[in-house]
Structure 1
Amino acid sequence: MTSYDTTGHASLSSAEAADLAARIAGPVWLPGDDGYQADCATFNLMTPVRPAVAVGATGVADVRAAVRFAAGRDLPVAVLATGHQVVGEAGGAVLINLSRMDAVHVDPGRRLARVEGGARWHQVLDEAGEHGLAGVSGASPTVGVVGYHLGGGHSPILGRTHGYAADHVQAVEIVTADGESRRVTATSERDLFWALRGGKGNFGVVTALEFSLFPVERFYGGGLFFAGEHAAEVLRTWREWTTGLPLETTSSIAFLRRPPLPGVPEPLRGTFVVHVRFSSLLPAEEAERLLAPMRAIAPPVLDTIADTPYRMARTLHMDPPRPAPWVERSSALRDFPGEAADALLREIGPDSGTRLGFVEVRLLDGALARPPAVPNAVSGRNARWALIASGAGAPDQAPVFRAQLAALAGALAPWTQDEMNANLLTASQGTTLDELRAAYGRERYDRLAAIKKRYDPRNLFRVNHNIAPA
């Protein structure tokens, strides 16, 4: 019999852990074991996980055994690959850590990549780059490739040209709630294939993914960092400038307040700057002509724009390379007029007094707004802009960050839409049924819930933005 701790979460005995360990090639850890913390570590230190047991899966057989063990005791299953997007503490759950399953194989002839569940984007960038190929990759090199695809996947370089990363998935290998392994494609189990691409981790443990690559070797891009005193002019110019960019070019703008710490580059250390991110697949001379209106605003305090190998796309946004504690919130915007820009500046401009260290507005549209060749569950395609914001610091600062994030979201509410991409859902806290239904749209959500009932009727996979069985 499974016992329960004082919080009401399941607690496994050493005998039960030993029974699980006998079925698993990888390590099995209970709370208090030496390896427990390492296998439960998250990239966002504000979102710790504390499962009943942690399993370090080394292959599909381990995943199947762990899922069957959980199902036999009616315990939830939580999946951890890189720890970037964690929802809930996984109390009482069987946690499956996929980080040991990180193989990446590139087939240059077929322009196809196959990655295991724990692979990170820097691995794909390196492997594909050897063949002059590129995936529809995100900004951070340490983000998990699988989770990124399952939520949609917006690339700051290839997104406006090729759409969402999920649109180019060719096959998904998954262990479902019955402990069975499945290879799901557009011609097999079509409903599940539709749901997996956009429905995040609600339908099982994805052990491998195959997706298309594109012949892209280089891009022209980087960032222009302007002193915070120019924030209003930079934002106003950027908003108007982006509306005329060709599909081969994209941009976002970030308001950064960097702490005075040694790891922060000297020109940015302890300062407030506005970071204009820019990338283009056009020739450098043409891209520079496009960039001219932004360069004319003021001399930048730092300029990283250059002709760059695509494998170095990891440097485009200069994302933090190491784990840190933060609280975040995101919104999808149907429009971003001058009034919205003014509202944003009142909340996070140089005189706002905000403690939010990162606020970004991303240009979307282009191919991101088009339906894919093979339909999927990715939502929010009609959003033209995305807002992502966070505050980083000690846990006792979290209430302040949440209040300021709520104020920012409220200020932009007149231009915000409900339907949004699943990867924009706040990772550091759960979502209600009404919030999820709004984010996916009623018809899409109801279809996802019906598919969930077919493949996970007991809702074992619920430590996430949970789509409950219909």
Structure 2
Amino acid sequence: MSSVDRAATIDPPIDPETVTELATRIQGPVLTPADEAYDAERSGNQTARRHHPDLIVGATGAADVQAAVTFAREHGLPVAVQGTGHASAAVAADGGLLITTSRMQGVRVSPGTGTAWVAAGTRWDQVIHEAAAAGLAPLSGSAPGVGVVSYTLGGGLGLLSRRYGFAADHVRSIDVVTADGRLRQVSAEADPDLFWALRGGRDNFGVVTGIELDLMPVTTIYGGGLFFPADSITEVFDAYVRWTAHLPDEMTSSIAMIAFPDAPMLPPPLRGRYVAHVRITYSADDLRPGADLVAPLRELEPFIDTVKEMPYTAGGTIHNDPPVPGAFESFTALLHDFDSTGVHALFALAGPQAAVPHVIELRHLGGRLANPPAVGNAVGGRHARYAINVISRLERAELSEIRPAHERIFAALEPWVVGRTLNFLNGADDAKYVRSAYEPKDYQRLTEIKAAYDPENLFRLNHNIPPAGSQGS
């Protein structure tokens, strides 16, 4: 079938000759729903929530992105962006034009300045590898397969967060194509309002094609995991919350409750078990205090203890996040505090006895995360002490069971909730929660910058921030 015939299947139809003409200006693929490669191109880490666009442009560089954005604006098509790694659809969009950036990969490390320029489709494992050769490390997340750009522009909570702050706080410059089709390099000096908004506002303001970010002088960490059995989870969770009350900024950690399936790919000690998994990353010039800090948790007698000195390049083993795509439903909240009352409320709904199996992770915040960055940005939630995420895989429960279970959990946590974190929102009731990811004055400023750079809300197939003066702003 020719591209002209394929274009004719779009509803509402786009003139086939127009689509063919677009393809002559794009180096990457231009796909419609009739193309064999369409499904693979629109699929990401989250297989339960995929875009259904009228057109997909598989961009190979900034020129492809400019041509795609210009085409979308001229033909009244809203734009969605999908990166690589875990950067899948935040909100499943019907129609419009989807730009995928997975072909845009590359890392340039500058040891003299301690920075790296990273192309839009690059994953953290690529940056970690290149930075390590210079004795440096990025502010990457728990999973090395996560895409750099969407993670960073959504804030970026990672292995070194309490020591260095959000990844977004350490962005030097951003290459972005805005709604007028113009490629801009924005920074604190050039387009400072747009620079402020992108760091926290993600793809609401344009399609990022590259990013320059700081690297840290880190080569070795004291890190790993402590695993505890189901019959001690409440005690361990309670102890973990108390333990976090007086930690130095150099210690970044979280605790997860995990109902492991009885699957052969898992280590035998974990198969079919409900466990607590404490994740530890201690980063300092002197790593020796790390063992003393972890000692109170070791006294609770974990049945697996992998915490040790390791190269930062092995940091992905701490959380051991699944590297393969999957179908899941998740939700998130930021908490001003947490205590034994909250722990017991959580366990009553989501402990080993729960009908719906979940992965529940409580991340300790504070430290440098609580401080404003040298160059301000839109990232919210700096006053929160914890972030909690609940993830439920659809192959283990029906959506009709999962969503009510999540609603009950977060209703019980409501006394501690102070907001949301954008990167972990999963699309359900999205418009209701996006505003709560920001400070009120920052959200208002975001809508005003949106009105200046994207007054027609071309970039709306996302965690959308509408332009000031429009319905919903």
With the length of structure 1 as denominator, give the TM-score of the two structures. 0.94
State the partner residue of 1:97: 100
State the partner residue of 2:456: 458
Query: 1:258: Cα distance to partner?
Result: 1.0
Q: Quote the Cα distance in structure 2 between the aligned partners of 1:10 and 1:373.
A: 48
Over the matched positions of the two proteins, sequence identity in percent amounts to 43
State the partner residue of 1:362: 363
Q: Quote the Cα distance in structure 2 between the aligned partners of 1:395 and 1:72.
A: 44
**Do the aligned partners of 1:258 and 1:357 also contact (CA within 8 Å) in 2?**
no
Query: 1:457: Cα distance to partner?
Result: 0.8
State the partner residue of 1:153: 156
Q: Quote the Cα distance in structure 2 between the aligned partners of 1:41 and 1:285.
A: 44
> Which ranges in structure 2 are unaligned for 5 or more consecutive residues?
1-6, 469-473
State the partner residue of 1:19: 21
Query: 1:222: Cα distance to partner?
Result: 0.6
Query: 1:284: Cα distance to partner?
Result: 4.4
Q: Quote the Cα distance in structure 2 between the aligned partners of 1:273 and 1:14.
A: 55
3-state DSSP class of the match of 2:246? coil
Q: Quote the Cα distance in structure 1 between the aligned partners of 2:87 and 2:392.
A: 15
Superposition map of 1:29-428 within 5 A: 29-82=31-84, 83-155=86-158, 157-282=159-284, 283-298=286-301, 300-350=302-352, 352-394=353-395, 397-418=398-419, 420-424=420-424, 426-428=425-427
Q: Quote the Cα distance in structure 1 between the aligned partners of 2:444 and 2:12.
A: 30
Q: Quote the Cα distance in structure 1 between the aligned partners of 2:42 and 2:314.
A: 29
3-state DSSP class of the match of 1:347? helix
**Do the aligned partners of 2:337 and 2:416 also contact (CA within 8 Å) in 1?**
yes
3-state DSSP class of the match of 1:467? coil
3-state DSSP class of the match of 2:233? helix
3-state DSSP class of the match of 2:131? helix
**Do the aligned partners of 1:169 and 1:209 also contact (CA within 8 Å) in 2?**
yes
Moved more, 305-314 or 202-211: 305-314
Alignment partner for residue 443 of structure 1, among 437, 441, 461?
Answer: 441
Q: Deviations over 1:345-378 (max 9, x none)?
A: 212223x324233001010001000011111100
**Do the aligned partners of 1:162 and 1:368 also contact (CA within 8 Å) in 2?**
yes
3-state DSSP class of the match of 2:80? strand
Q: Quote the Cα distance in structure 2 between the aligned partners of 1:192 and 1:302.
A: 47
Query: 1:132: Cα distance to partner?
Result: 1.0
Q: In the superposition, relative to structure 1, how do residues 330 and 221 fare at CA in structure 2: closer, same or farther (>3 Å)?
A: same
**Do the aligned partners of 2:160 and 2:281 also contact (CA within 8 Å) in 1?**
no
Q: Quote the Cα distance in structure 2 between the aligned partners of 1:12 and 1:43.
A: 29
Q: Quote the Cα distance in structure 2 between the aligned partners of 1:354 and 1:218.
A: 41
3-state DSSP class of the match of 2:320? coil
> Which ranges in structure 1 are unaligned for 5 or more consecutive residues?
none
Query: 1:9: Cα distance to partner?
Result: 6.4
Moved more, 233-242 or 387-396: 387-396
State the partner residue of 2:4: none
Query: 1:14: Cα distance to partner?
Result: 3.6
Query: 1:11: Cα distance to partner?
Result: 4.3
Q: Quote the Cα distance in structure 2 between the aligned partners of 1:447 and 1:316.
A: 38
Query: 1:244: Cα distance to partner?
Result: 1.5
Give, as a single letter, the amino acid of the residue that structure 1 aligns with 2:213. F
Give, as a single letter, the amino acid of the residue that structure 1 aligns with 2:335. L
Moved more, 89-98 or 58-67: 89-98
3-state DSSP class of the match of 2:73? helix
Query: 1:430: Cα distance to partner?
Result: 4.9
Q: Quote the Cα distance in structure 2 between the aligned partners of 1:42 and 1:12.
A: 26
Q: Deviations over 1:29-78 (max 9, x none)?
A: 11021111121111011111111011111111100000000000110111
Give, as a single letter, the amino acid of the residue that structure 2 aligns with 1:88. V
**Do the aligned partners of 2:228 and 2:303 also contact (CA within 8 Å) in 1?**
yes
**Do the aligned partners of 2:330 and 2:389 also contact (CA within 8 Å) in 1?**
yes
3-state DSSP class of the match of 2:25? coil
Give, as a single letter, the amino acid of the residue that structure 1 aligns with 2:111. P
Query: 1:286: Cα distance to partner?
Result: 1.7
With the length of structure 2 as denominator, give the TM-score of the two structures. 0.94
3-state DSSP class of the match of 1:110? coil
Q: In the superposition, relative to structure 1, how do residues 12 and 395 fare at CA in structure 2: closer, same or farther (>3 Å)?
A: farther
**Do the aligned partners of 1:102 and 1:117 also contact (CA within 8 Å) in 2?**
yes
State the partner residue of 2:3: none
**Do the aligned partners of 2:221 and 2:310 also contact (CA within 8 Å) in 1?**
yes
Count matched residues.
Answer: 458
Q: Quote the Cα distance in structure 1 between the aligned partners of 2:396 and 2:194.
A: 39
Q: Quote the Cα distance in structure 1 between the aligned partners of 2:396 and 2:354.
A: 20
Query: 1:12: Cα distance to partner?
Result: 3.3
**Do the aligned partners of 2:350 and 2:358 also contact (CA within 8 Å) in 1?**
no
Q: Quote the Cα distance in structure 1 between the aligned partners of 2:73 and 2:346.
A: 47
**Do the aligned partners of 2:44 and 2:50 also contact (CA within 8 Å) in 1?**
yes
Query: 1:104: Cα distance to partner?
Result: 1.0
Q: Quote the Cα distance in structure 2 between the aligned partners of 1:270 and 1:187.
A: 54
Query: 1:427: Cα distance to partner?
Result: 2.0
3-state DSSP class of the match of 1:402? helix
**Do the aligned partners of 1:105 and 1:115 also contact (CA within 8 Å) in 2?**
yes
Moved more, 364-373 or 438-447: 438-447
Query: 1:261: Cα distance to partner?
Result: 1.5
**Do the aligned partners of 1:117 and 1:208 also contact (CA within 8 Å) in 2?**
yes
Q: Deviations over 1:253-285 (max 9, x none)?
A: 000011112222221111101001111024443
Q: Quote the Cα distance in structure 1 between the aligned partners of 2:423 and 2:98.
A: 21
Query: 1:80: Cα distance to partner?
Result: 0.7
Give, as a single letter, the amino acid of the residue that structure 2 aligns with 1:465. H
Query: 1:422: Cα distance to partner?
Result: 2.1
**Do the aligned partners of 1:325 and 1:392 also contact (CA within 8 Å) in 2?**
yes
Q: In the superposition, relative to structure 1, how do residues 331 and 24 fare at CA in structure 2: closer, same or farther (>3 Å)?
A: same
Q: Quote the Cα distance in structure 1 between the aligned partners of 2:82 and 2:152.
A: 15
State the partner residue of 1:431: 430
3-state DSSP class of the match of 1:87? coil
Q: Quote the Cα distance in structure 1 between the aligned partners of 2:260 and 2:321.
A: 12
